[in-house]
Every structure is written in C-alpha cells, then in structure tokens.
Amino acid sequence: MNVAVLGGGSWGTALAIILANNGHEVTLWEYNKQYCKNLKKHYENKIFLPGVKLPREMEITHSLKDAATNKHLIVIATPTQFVRNVLKQIKKIPFENTTFVSVSKGIERDTLLTVNHIIMEELGVSEDSVGVLSGPSHAEEVSRKIPTAVVAASNSLETAIEIQTAFSNSYFRVYSSTDIVGVELGGALKNVIAVGAGIIDGAKFGDNTKAAIMTRGIAEISRLGIELGAKPQTFSGLSGMGDLIVTCMSKHSRNRYVGEQIGMGRKLPEILKGMTMVAEGIETCKSVHQLAAKHHIDVPIANAVYNILFNGKDPMKVTYDLMTRGMKTELES
C-alpha cells in the first residue's frame, strides 16, 4: 500500500520502519523543517532512535500535503493535543478509500475526545474508515525488532483486519478487535496511572505499593471505559493491562519518568521543560478528571495524580489518604 505516517517522533519513526520493511511505499512527514532535513540527511532519527537506520526507500518530507495525498493508509502519530491542527491542514484533500489509523494515546483537552473522534469530526470520514493501533510497544524496542504484540481496532472488522495485515510481521504481532472505544481508552488512561506508578518509584515506597496502584488503576480504567461504551474484557488485554504493565514498569516510559521526578520532589514545569518527548499522561490526566466528574465515576488514583500534578498536593500525604479511604469490597470502587 501507499502509506503516510504523520509524525517523525520515536513512535512514528518506528512504525514507518515496520511499514517500509513490510514492503509498503512509505512517506514519513515531520513538521519541524530542520529536524526533517536531519532525518533525510542521515536516514536515522538521531534524537529519539539513535543507531536505528531508516530504510532508504522511505520518503521523508516536510510537506504535509505531499505526504497525505493519494494514500491508502494514513497513520496519525502526532501527540494528541496537536492532532486537530494537523488534520485541519489536510481536510481539503479528497480522500477516497483511505483508512486512517490513530497511534496517539491521549484525550483532547476541553472536547474530551479520543483521536478517532477527532479524525471523524475534522475530516468528515465514516467511522468504518478509522482505526487505532495500541498496546505495550515502546518505540525503542520495536525499532530494534524486539518481539512485540499490539491490537488494531475499528468499528469495522474489515478495517481492523486491514490495519492488522499492513503492520504484522515476524517481530510485530497484531491482533484485531472491534472495540475501538476500549482499545483507545486503555491506551490513553493507562498513562495517568503510569504517572502515579512513577510517583511511587520516586517516593521510594516499594513494589507492594506499585502493584496496588497498577491493580487498582486498571479497575479505574475499566469503570470509566465501560461507562463510555467499552467492552470489559478489552481492559484485561494488550491495550489495557498489557500497556499498563509496560508503561508503569519500563525505563523507556515518559509518563513513569515524569511521575518519578515528581516523587523525588521536582516541580512539573521544570520536568517538562527538560523533556524532548511528550508525556501524554499529563494532559490526559486533566481530561480523565473532567470525564470522571461528568459521568460520576469514582477514580481515586487518577484524582490523586491530578491533585499532585496540578494542585500541589504532597505525594506522601495523598498516598496515605488513598490507603485510609473507607473500607470496601474489592469489586467496589
């Protein structure tokens, strides 16, 4: 297929490599002109994936119009908060039989929309032409062909299978699903819990505490996700528990890193200023706080993370507040 990957960060680059290695004609778009020049000069993403060579047959461009025109598959790999602006720039392109794939794991500020809804809203395409790809998949490992399993989801099984077929190979196994709501929410909401897991690391609590945060965190993700229309079993799969485990545990996780630094006593603006990549969980935390309030869903861990990040609450006190909440059965919130 003729494929465009919009976003030259670590994940967009890693997926472009997969698609090119699978025999597709791939165009990688990067919005930063100088960064794009460096990609084209070295055929290596020296900032995010140093040492990983890009296939020479891959085209790299700074022109969004050139990248998106006449493509069978368009992969949206920009951070969630920038997706709408990117789509506004290509909405005049006539799309015919184009499938759009979101690989961004977040929820848009204010609108509280996930990326598949932003795509449909901005481009006016049908839900059957939109899918998502999500799961436990750090770009640093995928780009080096370390075995990875993810899930492709769409309201249309045919579309999910199309995405599955496009990406699957010997080191990147893709499962299909029609629960696009659950797959997308699992990928977005776990980032908030991962910030909390990082806070546990930074505050030196221990493995017991982290296990509790992860387990109770997936319960919160499930409650909110089911309320929003997801299937319960999705959250025990790759895009739910699988992605939560890797994001809470890995040294590659940007969201866990932010939390760890918070737990060590640093302030959020200072941490973000020193980062070259986006930690989606920061903005998503605001959205989860709003969504949970709107739908009257109890999310104590997500709310605790929100209060630490944005209300200056002390991580130690917040943790003990969580521990001393009213007694409940395990299946309660």
- The Cα–Cα gap between 287 and 170 comes to 37
Helix (H) or strand (E) holding 154: strand 148-154
In 3D space, the residue among 105, 58, 122, 134 whose CA is nearest the CA of residue 282 turns out to be 105
For 110-137, b/e burial (b = at least 16 CB within 10 A) is: eeebbbbbbbbebbebeeebbbbbbbbb
Q: Residue 295: which residues within 8 A CB-CB, separation 6 or more?
A: 224, 227, 228
pLDDT at 333: 66
pLDDT in tens, 8-20: 999 999 999 999 9
CA-CA distances (angstroms) from residue 47 to 14, 44, 51, 133, 292?
Answer: 13, 9, 10, 24, 36
Q: For domain 182-323, give its CATH number from 3.90.550.60, 2.60.40.2470, 1.10.1040.10, 3.30.479.30.
A: 1.10.1040.10
pLDDT at 134 over 80: yes
CATH 3.40.50.720 matches 2-178: yes
Contact 262, 309 (CB under 8 A): yes
In 3D space, the residue among 287, 280, 292 whose CA is nearest the CA of residue 256 turns out to be 280
In 3D space, the residue among 125, 131, 115 whose CA is nearest the CA of residue 164 turns out to be 131
pLDDT in tens, 180-192: 999 999 999 999 9
Q: Where are the domains of the chain?
A: 2-178, 182-323
Q: Is 190 a catalytic residue?
A: yes
Among 71, 105, 190, 210, the one annotated catalytic = 190
Beta-strand pair 148-154/172-177: parallel
pLDDT at 219 over 70: yes
